[in-house]
């Protein structure tokens, strides 16, 4: 298995632009998680899905952030409009109910 | 509130020396516990996990961890550190299978030759 796939790996954008991060989970996993990692706040859970349904989005920082999972093999995290404080590494992880497996992350820089 | 604490932000050990990274948890019940490792610019890789049973858990890369309920701890150990072990290590806990992991702040391990 290829593991969790994220794209792009790096994204540089200007403040106010829309950013879309993509994730393909491991086949057969029914949980999908989005995390954000910063020096100041460490690893934070933003939202997670079970069987494509959002279960807990309490970690989403504000309305500028949205996430979707239209099918079992694809999820997006969108930031609109982006701000410099959104600069971070965003990780997607999928779970087989026992263990979460992480993707390589998307390093986002908002100028 | 559920929490996982890693008291050491940085640890430096000599190559070949033994290693112990500390992790304490605060949960209403015994959580499922995990150790992950993150190399620079990489994602998190699972080292080992504890769900129940034997309190000494073996993982990949020669790591092990011991669950101690009386101390609310799940410390990670390795008898002989290699330079390639330099990375950041995260302890995490969850009350349910596979979801809502709470992470510690991480411990950065430096290995000196």
Query: Smallest CA–CA separation between A60 and chain B, in Å?
Result: 14
Does the beta carbon of B97 lie under 8 angstroms from any beta carbon of chain A? yes
Does the beta carbon of B27 lie under 8 angstroms from any beta carbon of chain A? no
Q: Tens digit of pLDDT for each residue in B5-35?
A: 999 999 999 999 999 999 999 887 888 999 9
What is the spatial distance between Cα B86 and Cα B17, in angstroms, rounded to a whole number? 13
A96 vs B contacts (CB less than 8 Å)? 98
Mean of pLDDT values over A34-59: 93
Nearest CA to B58 among B44, B71, B76, B73?
B76
pLDDT at B98: 57
Residue A1, pLDDT > 80, answer no
What is the spatial distance between Cα B84 and Cα B61, in angstroms, rounded to a whole number? 10
Mean of pLDDT values over A27-32: 93
Q: Tens digit of pLDDT for each residue in B30-87?
A: 889 999 999 988 889 999 999 888 899 999 999 999 999 999 999 999 999 999 999 9
Burial of B37 (0-12, 13-18, 19+ CB in 10 A): buried
pLDDT at B53: 86
Does the beta carbon of A18 lie under 8 angstroms from any beta carbon of chain B? no
**Test the B interface: residue of A5, A102, A106 with most B CBs within 10 Å:** A102
In this prediction, residue A2 has a pLDDT band, given cuts at 50, 70 and 90, of confident
Q: Tens digit of pLDDT for each residue in B100-112?
A: 789 999 999 999 9
Residue A33, pLDDT > 90, answer yes
Residue A54, pLDDT > 70, answer yes
A100 vs B contacts (CB less than 8 Å)? 34, 46, 98, 101
In this prediction, residue A62 has a pLDDT band, given cuts at 50, 70 and 90, of confident
Q: Which of A42, A98, A103 has its CB closest to that of B98? A: A98
Contact (CB<8Å) B98/A101? no
In this prediction, residue B1 has a pLDDT band, given cuts at 50, 70 and 90, of confident
What is the spatial distance between Cα A79 and Cα A17, in angstroms, rounded to a whole number? 8
pLDDT at B13: 97
Mean of pLDDT values over A21-37: 96
Residue A97, pLDDT > 80, answer no
Counting other chains too, the contacts that B102-106 makes at CB distance below 8 Å and 24 or more residues apart are B102/B2, B102/B3, B102/B4, B103/A42, B103/A43, B103/B4, B104/B4, B104/B5, B104/B6, B104/B23, B105/A42, B105/B5, B105/B6, B105/B9, B106/A42, B106/A43, B106/B6, B106/B9, B106/B38
Residue of A nearest to B91 (CA): A43
First to last CA, chain A: 36
Question: How many inter-chain contacts (A to B, CB under 8 Å) are there?
Answer: 48
Half-sphere exposure of A76 (CA within 13 A, CB side): 9
């Amino acid at each position: 298995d290829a593991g969790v796939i994220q794209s792009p790996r790096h994204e540089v954008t200007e403040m106010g632009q829309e950013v879309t991060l993509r994730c393909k989970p491991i086949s057969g996993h029914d949980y999908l998680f989005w995390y954000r990692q910063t020096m100041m706040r460490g690893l934070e859970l933003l939202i997670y899905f079970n069987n494509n349904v959002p279960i807990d989005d309490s970690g989403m920082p504000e309305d500028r952030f949205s996430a979707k999972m239209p099918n079992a093999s694809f999820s997006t995290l969108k930031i609109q409009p982006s701000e410099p404080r959104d600069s971070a590494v965003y990780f997607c992880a999928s779970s087989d109910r026992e263990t979460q497996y992480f993707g390589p992350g998307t390093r986002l820089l908002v100028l | 509130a559920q929490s996982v604490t890693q008291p050491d932000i940085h640890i430096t050990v000599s190559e070949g020396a033994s290693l112990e990274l500390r992790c304490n948890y605060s949960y209403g019940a015994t959580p499922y516990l995990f150790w992950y490792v993150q190399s620079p610019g990489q994602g998190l890789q699972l080292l080992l996990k504890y769900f129940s049973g034997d309190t000494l858990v073996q993982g990949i890369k020669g790591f092990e961890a011991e669950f101690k309920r009386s101390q609310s701890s799940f410390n990670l150990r390795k008898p002989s550190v290699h330079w390639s072990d330099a990375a950041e290590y995260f302890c995490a806990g969850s009350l349910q299978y596979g979801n809502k992991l709470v992470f510690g702040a991480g411990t950065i391990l430096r290995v000196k030759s």
